[in-house]
Structure 1
């Protein structure tokens, strides 16, 4: 075999910051290998001892904090070896500084591809990635049904007080558990959806099955023509939706345009007995503003349920944690077995398409 042929077949290196969950991790890693990638697997978030052992038996491993900008940057440099690709599930801090370290001159392998097995990429510096020639791939829609299910579960909890009543009974207080009855219901309620993407559409279909009326306010791209096939009524403005709905659910990405989209002025527009659900991004509904509104009976919604926070993970902190009118969920809306498996398969497909389009590891490796 010639040296040129050998070079063409040299496998690429992929840093797997957090593999898929359970046995799907093994399937995912094997699929990456079949694409010509040699994985280095971070075991920091792999808690199953048996799975750790199986990964260690077959692949190179590491143990570092993927949420630490410094540790992530150092690992991507890997003492000068570098990586061609990175795969993750979580919203790791892929900042300009990290990307510059992963693409600097002198590395044997320069980062060319980042894939996240999830919909969002708001913790990635996309402008820096484009400037440095790093492609970003995600899996939008893979967990849409799961997020929609969780959204409706949070609606029901907020309306019916399920978690509060459970807590009261565990404390031995039947009288507290049966307070604020009769409870609200989705049947006959008007549910307003802020955003008109795949998740919002799933939510619309689910709540209509409960007998709710659906209003939706989308971006300028959500024209009446696009809304004609929707299971709901298109409204012209966010203000109209907030003032007219019993339940408001947020389904927009984190962008400069959506930051603080629902702040104090918008919350004051909501009905006194209304409910607000946020399974989108924390920046859309500022936590401190929501906390203040929930504590003021004359201002904004009566209850809320939130799945997303500015400070998550081990450093979790939120003023809403001490608010009795808010149900908290640890950013798990999309984490069902089915959704995670789908996202894992789709990100591998995205890697395959990228490698086929670029010729990386088939004669065009960097």
Structure 2
């Protein structure tokens, strides 16, 4: 007699091909709209489902996990980060957590380079002039930005995305430097043409561009705080495509307004969708709506990883992308 299919609840709309495959394999409950589930709706789903598929915008904290039923056995996060989930509490309750690592690497690295170019070459200002119809022709001194070839790029966090950024930056002629919890192996450093800094403070003070590519954990919250931001050179640029919480957004805004930092390119924000309104007023800032991984290819590949994690679990094995507290 065939066993019952796993009950799976998905909190947001996913690409059509992913939803179709989920429906073929599992007893899945999909969202009719792309609105986020409320906290109460997620708790109800956790009481009745075997598997919950949240996204990075769904907070699954200890209190919610404590209300989950005995049936919930897997939280298969649709996203590489898991800072939205209390992994330790889930583990204590016997609930596995998985994510979708590696899928977003190339797309996020592309967007990081895009932001570096957009800020240093003042692309938004040029776009605004064209869209407003105020441009009246080329002049030798208009919209002068800076050449990135030869500039020092400091990468904060040399994981998959940081390394992908390093490769792109080297192709643009930038000098690659990095700070990481652990130094890379010599052969990897040689391949990336990257210089390691044991002291983050010393690296920050000497870079022309700083790219934030580390995850948000308790130890990286406000890693770029007011004190450390003040170490940056006045003509330096900060780019963040990782997590907003790593940077003290209020301190960054004050320094940008005061001209103490030349510019910033941000795809993520400390308050999620609640972006500091003062940031929106600044010409030396490029703001994007968390679209670093927003390609059709990555969204489908993320869904495929979610499906593999659930199917492997259903077959009685450990999900290949299982996350445990010691990894965080």
TM-score, structure 2 as length reference: 0.89
Larger Rg: 1
- Is 2:14 the counterpart of 1:25? no
1:72 counterpart residue number: 42
Structure 1 pair 260–161 and aligned structure 2 pair: CA distance change class (3 A): same
Asked whether the equivalents of residues 106 and 164 of structure 2 are also in contact (C-alpha less than 8 Å), the reply is yes
Cα deviation, residue 352, structure 1: 2.2
1:14 counterpart residue number: 8
SS at match of 1:357: coil
Asked whether the equivalents of residues 144 and 199 of structure 1 are also in contact (C-alpha less than 8 Å), the reply is yes
1:342 counterpart residue number: 301
Cα deviation, residue 180, structure 1: 6.0
- Give the aligned CA root-mean-square deviation in angstroms: 2.4
TM-score, structure 1 as length reference: 0.80
**5+ unaligned residues in a row in structure 1: which ranges?**
46-63, 105-109, 361-366
Structure 1 pair 317–239 and aligned structure 2 pair: CA distance change class (3 A): closer
SS at match of 1:174: coil
1:201 counterpart residue number: 163
- Is 2:275 the counterpart of 1:312? no
1:242 is matched with which residue: 186, 201, 204?
204
Quote the Cα distance in structure 1 between the aligned partners of 2:225 and 2:97.
Answer: 31
2:263 counterpart residue number: 303
Quote the Cα distance in structure 2 between the aligned partners of 1:244 and 1:142.
Answer: 32
Asked whether the equivalents of residues 18 and 90 of structure 1 are also in contact (C-alpha less than 8 Å), the reply is no
Asked whether the equivalents of residues 46 and 69 of structure 2 are also in contact (C-alpha less than 8 Å), the reply is no
- Is 2:56 the counterpart of 1:90? yes
Asked whether the equivalents of residues 312 and 318 of structure 2 are also in contact (C-alpha less than 8 Å), the reply is no
Quote the Cα distance in structure 1 between the aligned partners of 2:309 and 2:269.
Answer: 28
Structure 1 pair 176–257 and aligned structure 2 pair: CA distance change class (3 A): farther
Q: Deviations over 1:98-157 (max 9, x none)?
A: 2222225xxxxx110011121101111112111111110001111100000001001000
Out of 304-313 and 285-294, give the one that drifted further: 304-313
Structure 1 pair 224–98 and aligned structure 2 pair: CA distance change class (3 A): same
- Is 2:190 the counterpart of 1:267? no
2:32 is matched with which residue: 39, 43, 46?
43
- Is 2:253 the counterpart of 1:287? no
| Count of matched residue positions in the alignment of Structure 1 and Structure 2 | 318
Cα deviation, residue 233, structure 1: 1.4
